[in-house]
Each structure stands twice: as structure tokens, then as C-alpha cells.
Structure 1
Amino acid sequence: MKKIFCSLLLVSFCIGKSTLAQEVYQFTKALTITSVHHYGREAIYTDQLAYQYFANTLKAPVAGQTFGTNDSGQTVIWKALEADSLNRFRTREFGGGGTYLYLTYSSDRDRSALLHVKGNSALFFNGEQHTGDPYSSGWLYIPVQVKKGLNEIYLRSFGMVQARLLFPEKPVILNVEDPTMPSIVLNENNKTLQGAVVVINTTAQALKNLNIKSRINGSELNTALPVVPALSIRKVSFALNADGVDQKGQFECSLVLLQNAKPIDEKKVTLEAVGPTEKYSQTFISYIDGSLQYYAVAPQNSSSDNSSHALFLSVHGAGVEAIGQAKAYQSKDWGTLVAATNRRPRGFNWEDWGRLDALEVLQLAKDRFNPDPKRIYLTGHSMGGHGTWFLGATYPDKWAAIAPCAGYPTLKEYGSADGKIPDSSRSQMEQMLLRASNQSDVVKLVSNYKPLGIYILHGDSDKVVSVNYARQMKKQLADFHADLSYYEYPGGEHWYGNESVDWKPLFDFFKWHQKLPDSSLNTIDFITSNPGISPSNRWASVQQQIHPLQYSRIKLNRNKNKRTITGTTENVQLLKLDLSNFGIHTTVTIDLDSLNKISYTTSSDQDSLYLLKQNNQWGITNQPGFEQKGPHRYGTFKEAFNYKMVFVYGTIGSKDENEWSFNKARYDAETWYYRGNGAVDVISDKDYSQSLYKGRNVIIYGNANSNSAYKLLLQSCPIQLERNTVKAGNHIWKGDDLAAYFIWPMKGTNNNSIGVIGGTGLKGMNAATGNQYFAGGSGFPDFMVFSLGMLRTGGNEVKLAGFFDNAWKLSESEMIQNK
């Protein structure tokens, strides 16, 4: 008989003014083990408990029982743990890292519930995996189906954990604890503003025919909503008309959730109306996933002519909201400051989708405020200091100057809850996997800062991000960078007031700098590791590499008088040169790598040239088609989560395979919502069609035998994932415990891709369950094949990993196979 730990607590729990649940079960007793899992910023993860769980060898825990051994071979024993007076389980008392908690709940009947946990990174509820709330945000409520009898929960955790079950009065709930809302800016058009809140579906059926009716200051709007899958959460956007608001202050917006035109829940959210010169939030629909995001604005405080005003992009630190970032600055009389969100206050460390968010907001701000293109600047604090280093090195042609404040340069040295990116002193297999993280290492990209003014600000008493990081970058730059200003704030800790970011000498430094036009910059020294992220600097662009995701470098000199371009390249297969500054009918001589010289006569004043390196010779070539790799679509696996992806779960496999497929898609959608404030369509393979979801990436869960969309989209792929078999070219692996992640270009599209997450059987599918590909900066190659044994022993059980060549073919030289 399994031992049951339970303590019943009935309380009233409210969100705002509306009751979410009248009955709450608070977990106060647990069992715990430590040092049994490792998840980080890499493709390899180990989890001894999950391995036993998926291998069906995990025994029901009892205090004092031996679990097994940890990664270091030490014996691990289950220990009893009681919550403190605030109902917190303090797992650090038992060693902290790699912890699992085991909780149980005994029910007298089947019923729906909301699992509310803070301080965990993921969990199993009766075998179904769900995302966690590692930052203890508190607004994540996971719908679960409680069964009659014993219900078991394994929480993957660290630090302090709180856990409870809430039994809601209503089966469908509007949750307004995590809204994305705009400000009402007076004297602007506020008729079609957009906000977003969460719909919680605790039923076993998908919710269709939903609408939200918004009402503010007497004005109503009705918005149709997407489908919310069974037992799931989804953040949904809606329209609201605030044009009737004509004074500053707080205004309530009533929201009514309707199904088939009948009200099923109602909540209120608050919007703030601000004056035109005050800081405000602006929402927008993101091209990344179609969700509602926001950025914050500190408007220029001058009413003078804005035709040549500056734009400052500020990237915030961990745990900071964009609106809080904007409010830390005094408005400037010579420019507008815009703060992007990184998708969440912690988000993606300004890498991956945080990087895309910054670029998206930058473009929106340029379109809206029309700044002087010579006066665009980048700054940020803490994690945003890292974002400044990273975005500055990755896109050196976008800024006149940058100013990292209290920042760390690279995730290989400084990590957060997801840890650091491991160094490359690993096996060949692990080095192949880590190659996909190369762009994160800005120390290797340091020469990209040459054209930028750089102001480094750091408190000399910073205990959160050591001042040694600033000194490290100063030393790196001092050897070659002539336009560097450095200041250590005496006695300054990590935050020493608004001067930590709004430092007058920093903005004076910005004012002295303008970005030179392309016509004036005749020398380029540029490094990239991924043309899909960062292909170009000014008039030169790395289109394809010889070795994917290794560092490529171009050092070029342009002489318009002599009509020449000379220089060297490293790891460049295809190079694009913009020749527009040479004019029409001009013969240009190009001399690269001391190889053959090329002469080309321009046909227009907007001409460009593609050069292909083959057999140690450079030659003129045509622009490659979209079916080849290029900046439009280059990989890696994580690229499949761009361009409004849709999650497609399989329904043609066995019952267990189909359940895994849906649960995994839902788990990824939950994690995407938590980490990226995102929203994803989760649909069955039967509901997918290329015409209906045109222009969107697809994530397929399962294999060719369990998901009908697989054969529809992946027939030409050289990697085939089937029941009991994985084929990659001439390589074949057999068994039901194999898993795979890979990306493949969608035929007939310019930039859409298919991502595959699946396995050869239930064991292999379970092995693919971990989703640390959503950790900012984590590296995943184009493809990897691994077994369930990876969860137990790590990299030795990765069978194959690597990158497709530029024609999306398998290349033995760009992949590693374990025997």
C-alpha cells in the first residue's frame, strides 16, 4: 500500500473580486530526493527519476527507501519533508540541486482541479508532464483531472516550493492575474486597443465558439477567440474601445467570456490612462507566434521638430517589466526611449525569441517614431547588459553606440536558473551539440564592436554581476577599440538608483555619436556563427558557410576610387556584396583570400553580387533559391519555433502514443506561455492542412506511424522516424526507446520549417519529453537522435547529431555518430 501524505485545508481563494475556488487542498508533507537530475542550456539532460518513470521501474516512494544512485554514483534515499509555517517546502536543506518532491492526494471521486505550484520547473501529475513556475510568479494554474483514489505528483524543483490543489466552481475560467494590457494614451486613437488574458479550460473537451466581450467607459467590443484545448490554458487577445476615456487615471474594463453567445465567466482588468508625455505601454501582435506582446515608451519631452530625433532601445534585467524599465529613465529632449520585453521579465536572456522580440520592437519603434537612422542607440542593465553586449555584437550595423550597464558578456560564464552554457571541453558529440550555441559567446565576436561607440557602466561593489565582467570586456576591447568609455560607479552595487541606467554621461556619450552611412564605411571586420541569426554587416553578407554554425569571419576593404574590394574570409561558402555605392556601369575588381581575382561590371546603381567559393576558387554565381540554406532559413532545430508555429499532435498511433503526443504538445504550449508570454494553436493531425495553415511553421509530435501530418510534410527528408526505427541516410537504429529532434524546410515555402519531436515507441517518445530547447541560449543542432538511456548516462546515448549542408542534405563531415 502506497503511503499517503495529506493535510486538508479549506479556504477561500480569490482573483480580484471573483472567486476562483472555494475549496483548496494545501500540500504540507512530502518526500524528497536530491541530485538526481540536470537540466540546463544544452541539448543533453539527465534525469534519474524520469528515466525510472519512463522505464516503468520507479517504485512508490517511502521515507527511508533507497531510490538508487545519482550522477556521481552516490546512494540516494527518500526523506520526509514538512512545509514550514508559510507552507513552503525548503528543499535546499536537503542539498538543493536536482531535487524531486513526491506529493500525494487521495480523492473520493473523479473531479477537475487546478494545480498551483510555485518554485518548480516541471512536474508529473498521474504520469502527465506539465510545466512549472521556477520563478514563483504565482499566476500559473495547471488544469488536471483528479481521479478517484490515489493521485501522485512528482515535482522537479529547486529552492522553495509551495503546492496546492484548487477545486474551481466553474469549469471554464478567465484568469486576469497575468494580463498583457496597453496604456490609454490621451489624445491618441484608442478605439481599437488590444489586451490579453488567460482562459483556463478544466473540462475534458476542447472549447470552441468562444468570444470575449469587453466594456470600458460605456464602449463595447466583441472578439472571437481561438480554440482552447481540453485541460489546458491559453492566453487570448481581445479588442477594446477606450476612445471615450478623456482623463488620466485608472479605468476598469469588464470582460465577459461567452460560449455560443452564452456568458460562462466574467472578470475585470484595470487600464491606466496617461498623458501624451508620460511613460506608457503599447501592445502589438507578434509575428513570432501571433500572440499579443507589448513594449514600453518614454516619449521625447520636447515639442520641437522631431524629424531628426534619436531612438534608444533599452533592454531590461531579469525580473523587470518593460514598463518598469522605461519608468527608470527621465524623458530626453532629443529622443524617444523604447523598452522591449524579452517576452517575459526573465524570458530568454535576450537570446533566441528574446532577440527576436528586441528586433521586432526596434522595427515597430522605427516605423512609429521615424527616428534619425544615424541616431539609434542600445543600452540595458544586468541581464539587459548581457542583451546589450549580445545584440551589439550580433547586429553591429544597427547602432550608433551601445552602453551595457552591470552586464555579463556571455552565458558561458554567467547563468541564471537555467545555468550556464557549458564550455566546449567535452566529447566530440557534446562539442557538436554545443556548436549551435556559438553565437551566444560574444567574447568570440568582440571585433564586431569596432564601428560602435561603447560606454561601459558598472558599480564597483556589485555582488550580483561582478565588476570583473566589465573589466574583462574593457581589457578585450582596449587592444583595438579607440571609441571606448568606461566608468565604475564608486560604491555602486547592482542597483544604486535610476542612475544605474539613466546616467547622464552615458547619454552624453550617445549624443556625440552618429552611425556612419554605408557609403562612408569602407572597412568591415565581421564575425558570425549563424547566418540565420546574423548574416550581414553593412554592404557584405555571409549567406552560407563551409561548416555550419562554426565561426565565419570576413575582413574586407572597399576602395571606391580604385574600384576594388579586397580582403580575407574564413568559413564562408557564399558571400553577397552590395555594390550600389560604386554606381552604374562600373567595373569592380574583387580580390579575396589571395586567390583568383574577379572583375564584374555593375548593371545598375542598386547592383549586388553573389560569390561562391569552390575548389579553393571564388566565382560569380546566381542568388540561390529559397530551397537552399540562407539567412531566410538556416536552422537550427529551434528555428522551427518561429513564424507562427502550430503544434500538431498525432492521433493514428496506439492509445498510449496518442496520449503522449497530445500531452507533450500541451506541455510545450504551457512552457511557451510561461517562458514567452506566448500562445500556440494545438491541433490534431486530422485537423491540419497546408492550405489552412499556410505561411506557418509546424511542430509534429510523434512519428510517421502515429502522426498523419508526418508523411504529408516529411516524405523527402533524409531523416525518417518510424515505429521501432530511425533512419538518417545510410545510418539505421532499431528499438522502441529512440528519440529525435530535427528541423526540415517546408517544401514550396520561402522560410517555413517543420520541427519534429518524437520517438520510435513510447519509451523513445518519453525520452523526448524534456523541453530545455526553450531555455535562452541553449544550443540544439539541426538534428539529434538519442535513446532513453541519455536520461541516465548523458551524452554517450546520443546516437547522432549534426547539421545539414547548404542543400539540406546529410553530410558525414558535419555530424557525429556514437557507436
Structure 2
Amino acid sequence: MLNKSLILAAFLIGTLQAFSQKIHHFQEALLINSGSRYGREAVYADLLAWKLYNNSLGKPVAGAVFDITEKGDTLRWQAIKADSANRFLTRQWRVIARGNTFGNPNRVDRGTGYIYLTYSSAKAQPAILNIKGNSGVYFNGIPHMGDPYNSGYMHIPVNLKKGLNELFVRGTNISADLIFPGKAVSLAADDLTLPSIIKGNDNSNLEAAIVVINTSSKTLSSLQLKTSMGGKEIKSMLPPVPPMTTRKVKFRFDASGITEKGWNDCSVSLFEKQKLIDTSTIKIECVEPGDKYSVTFTSNIDGSLQYYAVTPQLPAANDSGNALFLSVHGAGVEALGQARAYQSKDWGTLVAATNRRPRGFNWEDWGRLDALEVLALAKKNFKPDPQHIYLTGHSMGGHGTWFLGATYPDKWAAIAPCAGYPTLKGYGSADGLIPDSSNSPAEQMLLRSSNQSDVIKLATNYKSLGVYIMHGDADRVVPVTYARQMRKVLADFHSDYNYYEYPGGEHWIGSESVDWPYIFDYFKWHKIAVDTAVNTIDFSTANPGISASYRWASILQQQFPLRYSRIQLKRSNSAKTITGTTENTELIQFGLENFGKGATVNIMLDSQLIKYTTSSANDTVILKKENNSWAFAGFPTAQEKNPIRNGTFKDAFNFNMIFVYGTTGNKQENEWSYNKAIYDAETWYYRGNGAVEIIADKDFDPTRYKDRGVILFGNASTNSAWNKLLLNSPIQVKRNQIQAGDKTWTGDDLSAYFVWPLENSSFASVGVVTGTGLKGMNAANANQYFAGASGFPDFMIYSLDMLKNGPSEIKLAGFFDNNWKITKSNIAEGK
């Protein structure tokens, strides 16, 4: 992920032999204006996919009719050719295909089309597909991840069959190549995750990551990577790489022999059972202690290697007690590039997290978790004064600053969003907007799953923070109207914010876009108050699983999942009282440390008086609301929803997750399950710089994989791990039938996503991607659950026809209650 020009050069050198320079550039294609629509929600439209899954997609031929729209327009395939740079460049369409408004006739659609490519192979053989500019591709009917940001490093192993091979590429401005490798297994060095070598540090056991490409028909389970650098060698055992896949793997290197600043060669050799398979040479930078640098770490999300960048304090601090600045970058920006935009400060250290990728997850979902992981590591490594922690960011990072500031208001003394947009409902970025409304009750339920992203609804959480807003008044990328919007929001209640419009400033005005000196002057004036001094709380959350606590109060459970919850409280230490009101709160916890042992505390909550006598100096009290009355309660058990495990479906993609595909169905069902697991792993790698272990159901052992998130592909008839994981779930899926509570649907075209607590774990979950037959399974192929802030509830059941008709084909969507049961108050039913 570092220094793209050097990495690309290393890749071309290191893989020249592996690829043997045999490349097929696609030159001719057919184009269709199909109006496919994917985005930040579970509902999607794709007429071509619907026809493909129904076996009703005719042979694409120039001039042939693809479809006739509801308005009577005839859509025809048209021939196109690549330019001299092998690019298919077409005008961008904006069409409204059937179902695309998704229950809201006022919604603007951003649909796109498909490019049809073919390749005639003289024999069955493996190849590596490299397409840039697309959001997805069907290769001989099998879905694969695209490369929408033209990164270039998506090397997808595919099996060519003898004769005609067909590609339906989603996207209208692409380039596409087939690479015929000279080796079955090779290293790709164009997407590295690297640390810096810091002179004077212990550099004997550093970690990096590289991609292994496996175009063979077997799982590689005995791989080793040997590195040699500055005369020092070290070996690393690698995890399995399934057949016809890629996997980014961690390895160690010993840089203790490097003593001079600059770029240094590291030789990387891949072995299988002591047999040399491939070699590559990569460049790793050695820097001075005062330079900006990168640090790698193993993420708790998936066990993959990630990194953050540091702008060190200068002069270096001799002791702890200085400030820490967390900077969150904009779309397409590397963390190291972000850190280099700042001059070192003499009163604190700046760290830049990655969001998992330069675009990643818009600092939401796993980008949010990445920021929290880096914040925790930075606190541990740099030991700042806990009252002097600050947050800032630019563009997409400006949104990240608004979002992380509203979500975790007690973590920061002050925040400074620069050229940022507040919410993805107003500025959608590459994956589109989060819709703000719908006429469909089912889709309204889905959109609730994105409530945590609407920071305007959480704006009162900024009350305790200093807020510095900076925006160029000539910004055409993120218009200044977003800054003015937030200035107006804050003006209604906030007493400590600063607003500056840079005259004539565009989106990027040089390093001052982030390293604006007045921001850091403003930060100096602010510190985080200690909990004992905070006697007034006004805190809102949409999901306790994301953000449950502020200071000495926590929302442990909601009455209605993912609607907004709010607590407004006042504490008097002298009078020994807590008074306040709650909204959409079922279980609440108060810390009573300020009152001491043996104190009688009068709690007036929603006009009800509760008396409690503390049993220790560190006592807490938990209250539960039932029938509009508060009563004493205990912390929720692992069998109940709680801040550690609260749903939604996306929550299962955590805790070093594994993908489990089914092998007990028929040939087509088993192939779908494996291919879907590979497709999701490709997408996770591309969007999240991640790596996932993929195993067959027959190899799943709950004791071996204890406390790890599980993503199960298939149903009770096709995946033997179902009964080990989902026997007690109120949602049961088998061939031709879905049952959810007291409701049953039949047919082979039904799909579902849902989450369920992992048995014998207090925090991990099972995520299920399922269908009742091949049609239903294929309808579950779309994985926009990896799009940042996309809305997926606890469960959703729908038919294949949703791809054509929209949310009217949703059968059931909603949330489990706090006991993981299906109740009428938390669901929306379709037809």
C-alpha cells in the first residue's frame, strides 16, 4: 500500500517470469444500457443479472434487443472498440430501469450498464483476469470483484474452458486483460503492506504482507516465505491459499542489518514443502527517527496485517503527557501520505489510520474499527496525556471526523473537520447516497440500519467538544454548503465552535488543507474533562453495538433497535441525585463512583424515583424499563443483545472471521457456495486490505474455531455446518423453503441474509448468506454489505424478482428483539 511507483516497478520485475509476458488485451466488446443499480443499501437492481439467473438472457449480438423499458424504450446491444491504450471509454448513462426508484419516485437513480467480452480458448486452462474501472464481473456466470478505483492490483484467477468464454463486466469505462501465467503459483508485489525501518530501533522482527496468486487446482497448505535483507534471513509459515484464489499473507523480515537511510532491497522467496516456487524483490524504506514513518500491526478484525503512519513529535518528548492527534485521510489518500502533509509539532504526536484502504469504508463500519484500533495502539505506544486527544481529517476524512466525533464524543478534546461532508445521505461518494426516505415499509426498515451514519441526528453529542470547521469557499469537490450546513446546526446549541472559510480555497490548497496552524492553536485551548467533573450528559446513539456509553452512563439495550436513543442527565454529588429523561432506552447503566460507599442515591428517571444504596466506592446500577416503569436489573447475559453483540448482519464480519462454504448440496449448489465465498473474500481484500480463511463445512469444528466470527454460505440442506451453528435460530432455510418465526415461504428463488449469536461465545456472531435454491442463492450474490455505511438489518428475506421490481419483493426485514426473538414491533412484512 506504500510508494506506488516503486511497488509497481518491483511487481513488473518480480512477476515478469511468472506471467511470461503473454497477455490478451480485449479490443472488441458489446455494450448495454441496462441500468443496474448497486449502492449503500441491501436493495439492488440488476436486470441483466436477473435474466442471467433466470436463464432468459439471450445471446448478446450487436443490434439485438436486450429489453424494452416500461416507457417503451428499446435497449439494444451496441458494438464498441477499445482505444489505443486498450480502454473502453463510453459516455456515462443515467437511466431509470424498472424498479430502480425503490419505492420512492423522487429518488435520483445512478444506474450503469454492462460490457460483454468474449475469449475463445483452444483448451481448458487457468488464467489471471485483470480488469480496471469495473464494479464487478461475471466470468462464465461466476461473480468476481471488480476494480472500481482503477487500482490495478485485482489479479483474479479464472478457469478458461475450451471454446467460448463469456464475460459480463459491470461498468462502462474499463480496460480488460487476460494474463497467462508461466507458473501456477506466484507472488504479486504491487499491493504490499510495509512498515518503515527506523534507524536505532529494534528492526529484527518486522512484519509486512504480500499477495500469493494460486492458479492451481489444489489448496496450498505448506507454504513458507523466506526473506533476506542486509545479510539477515528469516522464515515465515503462511496460511492456506485455496485453489484459484489470491490471498494477502503476512511475513516477517529482519532489517537489523540496515543502518543507512534510504530504500533497501528485500528478497522474498516462496516455498512449498521446501521447493522454491517464486521469488520477488521488494523495496523497503529506512528512515531517521524524526521522519514520518509507517508501523504495521495485526488487526483484531480479521487477523490481517494493517498499518498506520506517524508524524513524530519534534523535538522528541522525554516523557509521557503530550498530545495525540488522530488524522483520518480523504478518499484515495494513503495514511503515509496523510502523515507527510503535516509538520511535526513540539507538543504532540500525529498518527494517521488507513480506513483499511485509501477509500475503504468512508471511516464507518470496519473503517471505524480501524480508527479505534489505531487510537488504542497510539495511546499505548506514545502514552499521551489522556486529556489531550484530538481528531481531524480532510474530505472523506472530514466526514470521518464528523462521524467519529459524534459517535465517540468522550474520546476527544476537540475535532476539526476540513472540507468534509457530514453524512452519506447528503454526499454519497463512490458508492452513492444512503437514501433518506422510502415509500416502502420494508425498505424503511432496511434504512434504519444506517441511522448511525446520520451525524446530523447525533449532533448534540458535539456539545462537550471543541469544533473547528475549515472549508474552502471555492471547493467544487465537497461544496462549502456542507460546512455552512453544520455551522447552522451547531449554532442552535453549541457554545464552543470556530468556523473558517478559506477565501478562494479549492478542495486541496496544499498542506494547509490539513495542517492549518489555527486548528492546532485551537486544539491547545481544549482538554477532555475528567469524568468526576462532568455532571451533565446529553448523549444519543442509534446502535449500542457501535456506541453505547458516554462518561458514567451507558445505554445497554434499546426498546426499538436502531432507532435513535437519547439520554439527558444531571448529577449532583452533594445532593446525591441523578435526574433525567430517556428516549428509546430499555436498559441503562450508571457509574456511581462519585458518591462513595454506603451512599443513598436518588435517581429520578422519566419522572420516576428510584432509591439505591451503593455497596462499594466503584458501584454501578442497572435499570430496566418494562411497561413504562424502571426497575433494578443486571447486565444482559451473553444470550441477550448487549453492547458487545447487538447485531446487525454486518456485525458478523469481525473477530477473525472464517468463511464456511457448503458441500452437501448438488453440484450447482456446492459450486455456488464455494464461488460466493471466493467472491466475498475478493471483495473483502479489495475494499478492506483483508484476508479471510475459507474452509469447507466438513472441516468446520466449533471448538477449533471458538470465538471466531463465522460467515456461512448455503442452507440446512447444502451446508453441514448449519446444525452446528443455527439449530436454535428462529430463521431456518432449506431447499425450497424459508421459515421465520411463524411465517413460511416456499420456492427455489428466495434469498436471505441474517445474523445469529455464535453459541458458546459471548461476542462473536454467525452471518448467513443463503437461498432456497440456485435462483435464490444467485440473488444473494450482491455483497454491498461491504460498502461503507450500507444498511443491513438483522435479517432480510426476499425473492429473485427484487432485482427487477425493487423492495416490493422483500418478504420480511427487521431486527431481533433483545432476546434474539422475532417480534411484530421490529419487522416489516412484504407481500
Query: Common fold, TM-score beyond 0.5?
Result: yes
Q: What is the CA distance between 1:127 and its match in structure 2?
A: 1.1
Tell me, in whole angstroms, the C-alpha distance in 1 between the residues paired with 2:587 and 2:176.
54
Tell me, in whole angstroms, the C-alpha distance in 2 between the residues paired with 1:396 and 1:763.
46
Q: Name which of 477, 483, 496 aligns with 2:490.
A: 477
For residue 443 of structure 1, give the secondary structure of its aligned residue in structure 2: coil
Q: Which runs of 5+ in 2 are unaligned?
A: 1-8, 96-110
* Preserved CA contact (<8 Å) 1:432 1:815: yes
Tell me, in whole angstroms, the C-alpha distance in 2 between the residues paired with 1:773 and 1:52.
23
What pairs with 1:105-120 in structure 2 (closer than 5 Å)?
105-120=119-134
Q: What residue number does 2:579 align with?
A: 566
Tell me, in whole angstroms, the C-alpha distance in 2 between the residues paired with 1:36 and 1:389.
33
Tell me, in whole angstroms, the C-alpha distance in 2 between the residues paired with 1:622 and 1:674.
42
* Preserved CA contact (<8 Å) 1:195 1:239: yes
Q: What is the CA distance between 1:16 and its match in structure 2?
A: 2.8
Tell me, in whole angstroms, the C-alpha distance in 2 between the residues paired with 1:761 and 1:725.
9
Q: What is the CA distance between 1:71 and its match in structure 2?
A: 7.5
Tell me, in whole angstroms, the C-alpha distance in 1 between the residues paired with 2:92 and 2:516.
42
Give the residue type in structure 2 aligned to 1:700: L
Task: Answer yes or no: is 1:600 the counterpart of 2:612.
Answer: yes
Q: Name which of 655, 680, 685 aligns with 1:668.
A: 680
Give the residue type in structure 2 aligned to 1:569: T
Task: Answer yes or no: is 1:154 the counterpart of 2:154.
Answer: no
For residue 444 of structure 1, give the secondary structure of its aligned residue in structure 2: coil
Tell me, in whole angstroms, the C-alpha distance in 2 between the residues paired with 1:303 and 1:535.
36
Q: What residue number does 2:799 align with?
A: 787
What pairs with 1:60-79 in structure 2 (closer than 5 Å)?
60-70=59-69, 74-79=73-78
Q: What is the CA distance between 1:36 and its match in structure 2?
A: 2.5
Q: What is the CA distance between 1:358 and its match in structure 2?
A: 0.3
Give the residue type in structure 1 aligned to 2:291: E
Q: Name which of 370, 379, 383 aligns with 2:383.
A: 370
Q: Deviations over 1:9-53 (max 9, x none)?
A: xxx996234413321111111001124310010010010000000
Q: What residue number does 2:781 align with?
A: 769
Q: What residue number does 1:720 align with?
A: 732
Tell me, in whole angstroms, the C-alpha distance in 2 between the residues paired with 1:46 and 1:71.
15
Q: What is the CA distance between 1:304 and its match in structure 2?
A: 4.3
Q: What residue number does 2:137 align with?
A: 123
* Preserved CA contact (<8 Å) 2:702 2:724: no
Q: Name which of 393, 398, 406 aligns with 1:380.
A: 393
Q: What residue number does 2:331 align with?
A: 318
Q: Name which of 443, 455, 466 aligns with 1:442.
A: 455
Give the residue type in structure 2 aligned to 1:302: P
Q: What residue number does 1:16 align with?
A: 13
Q: What residue number does 2:816 align with?
A: 804
Q: Name which of 103, 107, 120 aligns with 2:117.
A: 103
Q: What residue number does 2:669 align with?
A: 657
Tell me, in whole angstroms, the C-alpha distance in 1 between the residues paired with 2:624 and 2:64.
64
Q: What residue number does 2:540 align with?
A: 527
* Preserved CA contact (<8 Å) 2:10 2:281: no
Q: What is the CA distance between 1:627 and its match in structure 2?
A: 1.2
Task: Answer yes or no: is 1:410 the counterpart of 2:423.
Answer: yes
Deviates more, 1:443-452 or 1:83-92: 83-92
Task: Answer yes or no: is 1:138 the counterpart of 2:152.
Answer: yes
* Preserved CA contact (<8 Å) 2:320 2:382: no
Give the residue type in structure 2 aligned to 1:326: A
Q: RMSD of the TM alignment (CA)? A: 1.2
Give the residue type in structure 1 aligned to 2:467: I
Q: What is the CA distance between 1:87 and its match in structure 2?
A: 1.2
Q: What residue number does 1:86 align with?
A: 85
What pairs with 1:220-369 in structure 2 (closer than 5 Å)?
220-369=233-382
Give the residue type in structure 2 aligned to 1:560: N
The verdict on how the C-alpha distance between 1:259 and 1:70 changes in structure 2, with shifts beyond 3 A counting, is farther
Tell me, in whole angstroms, the C-alpha distance in 2 between the residues paired with 1:391 and 1:617.
33
For residue 57 of structure 2, give the secondary structure of its aligned residue in structure 1: coil
* Preserved CA contact (<8 Å) 2:14 2:189: no
* Preserved CA contact (<8 Å) 1:544 1:572: yes
Q: Which runs of 4+ in 1 moved over 3 A?
A: 69-74, 93-97, 303-306
Q: What residue number does 1:5 align with?
A: none
Q: What residue number does 1:6 align with?
A: none
What pairs with 1:675-686 in structure 2 (closer than 5 Å)?
675-686=687-698
* Preserved CA contact (<8 Å) 2:14 2:279: no
Q: What is the CA distance between 1:423 and its match in structure 2?
A: 1.1
Q: Deviations over 1:335-363 (max 9, x none)?
A: 00000000000000000000000000000
Q: What is the CA distance between 1:73 and its match in structure 2?
A: 6.0
Q: Name which of 431, 440, 443 aligns with 1:427.
A: 440
Tell me, in whole angstroms, the C-alpha distance in 2 between the residues paired with 1:727 and 1:186.
62
Q: What is the CA distance between 1:235 and its match in structure 2?
A: 0.2
Tell me, in whole angstroms, the C-alpha distance in 1 between the residues paired with 2:71 and 2:346.
59
Tell me, in whole angstroms, the C-alpha distance in 2 between the residues paired with 1:344 and 1:808.
34
Identity of aligned residues (%): 59
Q: What is the CA distance between 1:70 and its match in structure 2?
A: 4.9
Q: What is the CA distance between 1:305 and its match in structure 2?
A: 3.5
Task: Answer yes or no: is 1:693 the counterpart of 2:705.
Answer: yes
* Preserved CA contact (<8 Å) 1:43 1:773: yes
Q: Name which of 179, 187, 191 aligns with 2:200.
A: 187
Tell me, in whole angstroms, the C-alpha distance in 2 between the residues paired with 1:221 and 1:50.
48
Task: Answer yes or no: is 1:506 the counterpart of 2:525.
Answer: no
The verdict on how the C-alpha distance between 1:87 and 1:626 changes in structure 2, with shifts beyond 3 A counting, is same
Give the residue type in structure 2 aligned to 1:605: A
* Preserved CA contact (<8 Å) 1:301 1:333: yes
Q: What is the CA distance between 1:83 and its match in structure 2?
A: 1.1
Task: Answer yes or no: is 1:704 the counterpart of 2:716.
Answer: yes
The verdict on how the C-alpha distance between 1:289 and 1:788 changes in structure 2, with shifts beyond 3 A counting, is same
* Preserved CA contact (<8 Å) 2:232 2:257: yes
Deviates more, 1:27-36 or 1:480-489: 27-36
